[in-house]
Amino acid sequence: MAMEVPSSTAPTRLARLFEPRGIAIAGASGDPTRAGGQALRALGAHGYRGGIFPVNPRYPELAGHRCHPDLASIDGECDLAVVALPAAQVPGIIRQCGRRGIPFAVVLGGGFREAGPEGARLEQDMLEAAHAHAVRIVGPNCLGLVNVHAGVYAAFGSITREPRLAAGGVSAVLQSGGFGNALVRQCAQAGVGFRHVVTTGNEADLTAAELIDAFVEDAQTRVILAYLEGVADGRTLMAAGRRALAAGKPVLVLKAGNTDQGRRAAASHTANLTGHYDVYRAAFRQCGMIEVGDIHEAADFALVLSAGRFPEGRNVALMGGSGGSAAVFADTADQVGLSIAPFVAETTAELEAALPPLASCGNPVDYGPGFPSPSSVQGYTRACKALLADPGIHQLGLLVASAGPGQVQLAAGELAQILPGTTKPVLAFSAMTDEPVPAGLAMLRQAGVPVLPSPRRVARAMAMLATYAEARTRASGAGWSAQGLYPTVVQPPIPPDALAALPRGPATLDEHAGKALLSSTGIPVSADVLLPIGSTGVDGLRYPVAVKIVSPDIAHKTEVGGVKLHVADAGQLAAAIREVTANARRARPAARLDGVLVSEMVTGVETIVGVVNDPGFGPVVAFGIGGIFAEAVDDMAFRVAPFGVDEARAMIGELRMRALFDGLRGQPPCSTEAIAAVLVQVSALAWQLRARLSELDINPLIAGPVHAVAADALVVLR
């Protein structure tokens, strides 16, 4: 079977959606409490320079513009219709768009899928009209879209209100209007400038993934911000994420609907599927999307990413006059995997020469109070340069803390000179965001130094930069298809003969057949012999062995007494065969018994590898430690299949119990490379069989010092 190329949307061509030459407002109104009134007013208020065409047969004129009875009467160039009409009129207006040659519509109002069966029918009618006339739709049930740079406010409600957003390089796609606008406003208050802001509502046509794609293509978008509750097609989202990663445009995601209560709350307000959060997290990681925990973290990260500097490692230098801030930073650094690394000797010597006599010149550097002053500022410059020149340092954190305006302005002036000479990120912590310090802080920001209001938040932002830089490095080494949907380097691992041997139609492969399938892809399996029912044994085995009943009707053999482990010799073997057969007959009298499998016992750490078919993401590989203890802590790692060895290694590293692989209490360490190789191969197998595989379980995969061996397997085909 050759690797299939999955269908994909064509590259988005949404430029006219964001830069329309003219905008019609269907349902325009003079009433500022109505959507059609707010949209009309917002277009006028924000300096949009294209044509504004109110459409409403009841008025000859609105807000100084000629009002049109219908879309057909518009005589200027018009690329976008803002639809502020009751749901029942929307399918008709979309048809009008098509006939008038208006390629885009933003449908603001609700009353569609989210409102029940009648609304769902209207949404379907609207979509059919859109498809028939090649009209692309944002919404319905949304606040609309904004192009801040061009003053395009195809929107109503809170998103159109003062204060006006500052223009900048961040474009946002938001699966909630109210919360999404709150997110954007908070970021703006922190100093983030925006390019496009799109609320997607029901996503009947244009999806979050397509809009991310459009932002990737938009030259003036540098950072992408997404609020997501769920997506119907996870692979398309990942593909958009990968393209953004390749283009060097970081994607920040705030994801909701991740817990039982969160899913219930999300389901009650939109029709978005939320799916399994572990799978989303894995998907975000795999395509380099950056998850943020809260609004202020989105703002922090957007500011820091907008500076456009990325580190080449996880070592940071700290300098400041506040030892407490360094301690607070360091705790977070420890948690997020940053290292406050030692300096090379040259750096320390420079610091000792540059800083005041009582300064502490290790990392973190503490120069004490009253520094820099106008007379000592050259020392400050010299110290900054030394830290940035240290080959073992990848980022610099300046702990300004509560230093006064004089010191901050002095430092900012110097840093403006220093930063062009380095590509390393420089971040600052200052708590003094009230006047009169902000003049200095603004200078720092101007110089390319993002300023955040806590040392912990500086540490988290630095860790985010390092992790994102790692994802970029990984991505540049991986070969992905043009659509970013699958890695081109994955070879279908099941050879043709093994593929041909699979049963047609729904089937459950027993352990013997399941292990044969795994073995055909190169995954080590425990040696076994399938004996007929009634057999008393077999020669040539290496004891101890495991004895298991084989039946297509018994998926969980242990539960029926169908497994005997640690069988030590030929005598015990005969007894064990009798026992598992009798137990199976007693527990499941109707089951077909195909034989008894005798397999060599493998020793090592018991792990579990599984494949599940996620409704949004398709085949997903799960990996964890076996046994009751791991079950008790729910210690599993997930990745969307297929993936390479880097991701497999990262899965192993995510397990809380990973120390078991190091060989605790005198056990030999396990080969995590052998485990990783199995995970990669399982992911490739799952991708190859994605049209047929319902479930695959390797339980256990025994991890030993050299190999990782599948000691049992269950494969369910559909």
Is residue 428 a contact residue for a copy of itself (CB under 8 A)?
Answer: no
Helix, coil or strand: residue 480: strand
In Å, what is the CA distance from 502 to each residue of 433, 486, 499, 508, 514? Answer: 67, 24, 6, 10, 10
- For a copy of itself, the binding residues in 597-656 under the rule CB under 8 A are 625, 627-633, 635, 656
User: Which one among 76, 86, 324, 479 touches a copy of itself, defined by CB under 8 A?
Assistant: 324
221 is a contact residue toward a copy of itself (CB under 8 A): no
User: In this chain, which of 369, 477, 495, 522 binds a copy of itself, going by CB under 8 A?
Assistant: 369
Contact between 590 and a copy of itself per CB under 8 A: no
Distance CA 421, CA 411 (A): 16
* Residue the block writes with tokens 């256990």: 700
In the range 274-313, which residues lie near a copy of itself by CB under 8 A?
A: 293-296
Distance CA 664, CA 290 (A): 34
Report the relative pairing of strands 339-340 and 426-430 from DSSP bridges: unpaired
- Total residues at interface with a copy of itself (CB under 8 A): 98
95, 222, 242, 456: residue in contact with a copy of itself (rule CB under 8 A): 456
**Locate tokens 């395009």: which residue?**
152
Q: Is 256 in the site for a copy of itself (CB under 8 A)?
A: yes
Q: Is 664 in the site for a copy of itself (CB under 8 A)?
A: yes
> What's the closest the beta carbon of residue 387 comes to a copy of itself, in angstroms?
16
Question: What is the three-state SS of 73-126?
Answer: HCCCCCCEEEECCCHHHHHHHHHHHHHHCCCEEEECCCCCHHHCHHHHHHHHHH
| Rounded Cα distance, 615 and 165, in Å | 38
Judged by CB under 8 A, the stretch of 79-87, 314-322, 644-652, 668-676 that binds a copy of itself is 314-322
183 contributes a contact to a copy of itself by CB under 8 A: yes
Contacts of 541 (CB under 8 A, 6+ apart): 529, 573, 598, 600
Indicate if the alpha-carbon torsion angle 427, 431, 434, 439 is positive or negative. Answer: negative
Residue closer to a copy of itself, measured from CB, 345 or 628: 628
Nearest CA to 235 out of 493, 487, 467, 489 is that of 487
Query: Judged by CB under 8 A, does residue 346 bind a copy of itself?
Result: no
**Residue 501 CB contacts under 8 Å (≥ 6 apart), including other chains:** 516
- Find out whether the peptide bond into 642 is cis, omega within 30 degrees of 0: yes
* Separate counts of helices (H) and strands (E) for the chain: 22, 31
Q: How far is the CB of 488 from a copy of itself (least distance, A)?
A: 36
DSSP one-letter string for 149-162: TTTEEEE-GGGGSS
Among 64, 357, 434, 539, binds a copy of itself (CB under 8 A): 434
Whole-angstrom distance, CA of residue 334 vs CA of residue 343: 18
Smallest distance, Å, CB 434 to a copy of itself? 5
Minimum CB–partner distance for residue 433 and a copy of itself (Å): 6
For residue 221, the minimal CB distance to a copy of itself (Å) is 22
Residue 380 Cβ, how far from a copy of itself at the closest point, in Å?
A: 16
Span near a copy of itself by CB under 8 A; candidates 93-101, 200-208, 434-442, 477-485: 434-442
Distance (Å, whole) CA 298 – CA 292: 6
- Nearer to a copy of itself by Cβ, of 171 and 322: the residue is 322
**665 near a copy of itself, rule: CB under 8 A:** yes
Between helix 208-217 and helix 234-246 the angle, nearest 10°, is 10
| From candidates 364, 484, 642, 704, binder to a copy of itself by CB under 8 A | 364
> By C-beta, is 102 or 655 nearer to a copy of itself?
655
Q: Please choose, out of 231-239, 325-333, 409-417, 694-702, the segment that lies near a copy of itself by the rule CB under 8 A.
A: 325-333
Type of residue at 651 = M
CB of 491 to a copy of itself, least distance (A): 35
**Angle of helix 234-246 versus helix 277-286 axis, rounded to 10:** 30
**Between residues 18 and 227, which has the closer beta carbon with respect to a copy of itself?**
227
Which of 104, 215, 329, 343 is close enough to bind a copy of itself by CB under 8 A?
Answer: 329
Question: Among residues 336 and 507, whose Cβ is nearest to a copy of itself?
Answer: 336
Residue 246 burial by Cβ neighbours in a 10 Å radius (0-12, 13-18, 19+): middle
Instruction: Please state whether beta strands 507-509 and 167-174 pair in parallel, antiparallel, or not at all (unpaired).
Output: unpaired
Report 466-525 residues binding a copy of itself (CB under 8 A).
Answer: none
Q: Which is nearer to a copy of itself, 271 or 684 (CB)?
A: 271
24 alpha-carbon distance from chain centroid: 36
Asked if residue 372 has a cis previous peptide bond (ω within 30° of 0), the answer is yes
Residue 38, token pair as written in the block: 């707010």
Q: Which residues contact 83 (CB under 8 A, 6 or more apart)?
A: 26, 27, 90, 93, 94, 105, 106, 107, 108, 109, 139, 140
What part of residues 26-85 is at the interface with a copy of itself (CB under 8 A)?
A: 33
Chosen residue from 128, 334, 553, 569 binding a copy of itself by CB under 8 A: 334
Residue list 222-251, contact with a copy of itself (CB under 8 A): 227, 229
For a copy of itself, the closer CB: 166 or 353: 166
Q: Which stretch, 209-217, 452-460, 501-509, 669-677, contacts a copy of itself (CB under 8 A)?
A: 452-460
Instruction: Give the distance between the most distant pair of CA atoms in the chain.
Output: 100
Question: Cβ 88 to a copy of itself, closest distance in Å?
Answer: 16
- Using the rule CB under 8 A, which residue among 325, 551, 572, 683 binds a copy of itself? 325
Contact with a copy of itself (CB under 8 A): which of 50, 157, 514, 700?
157
What's the CA gap between 170 and 17, in Å, rounded? 17
Q: Does 163 bind a copy of itself (CB under 8 A)?
A: yes
**In the complex, minimum distance from the CB of residue 300 to a copy of itself, in angstroms, rounded to a whole number:** 11
Considering the complex, state which of residue 451 and residue 682 has its C-beta at the smaller distance from a copy of itself.
451
In the complex, minimum distance from the CB of residue 20 to a copy of itself, in angstroms, rounded to a whole number: 25
Of 77, 331, 553, 569, the one binding a copy of itself by CB under 8 A: 331
Angle at CA 621, nearest 5°, toward 286 and 256?
A: 55
Q: Contact at 8 Å (CB) between 441 and 409?
A: no
Rounded Cα distance, 710 and 392, in Å: 42
Q: Can residue 342 be called a binding residue for a copy of itself (CB under 8 A)?
A: no
Q: Which is nearer to a copy of itself, 47 or 404 (CB)?
A: 404
Choose, by CB under 8 A, the member of 7, 268, 375, 491 that binds a copy of itself.
268
- Closest distance to a copy of itself from the beta carbon of 183 (Å): 7
- The stretch among 39-47, 317-325, 544-552, 577-585 that binds a copy of itself (CB under 8 A) is 317-325
Half-sphere exposure of 269 (CA within 13 A, CB side): 15
Nearest distance, CB of residue 270 and a copy of itself, angstroms = 7
For a copy of itself, the closer CB: 430 or 581: 430
Region 396-425 residues binding a copy of itself, contact defined as CB under 8 A: 399, 401-404
432: contact with a copy of itself by CB under 8 A: yes
Q: Which residues pair with residue 87 across a beta bridge?
A: none
Sole binder of a copy of itself in the list 73, 158, 671, 694 (CB under 8 A): 158
Task: Tell the smallest beta-carbon distance from residue 41 to a copy of itself (Å).
Answer: 14
Burial category of 667 from C-beta neighbours within 10 Å (exposed 0-12, middle 13-18, buried 19 and up): middle
Binding status of residue 315 toward a copy of itself by CB under 8 A: no
**Closer residue to a copy of itself, CB minimum distance, 205 or 297:** 297
Q: How far is the CB of 332 from a copy of itself (least distance, A)?
A: 8
Which positions ≥6 away from 118 have C-beta within 8 Å?
A: none
Cβ neighbours of residue 572 under 8 Å, at least 6 residues apart?
A: none
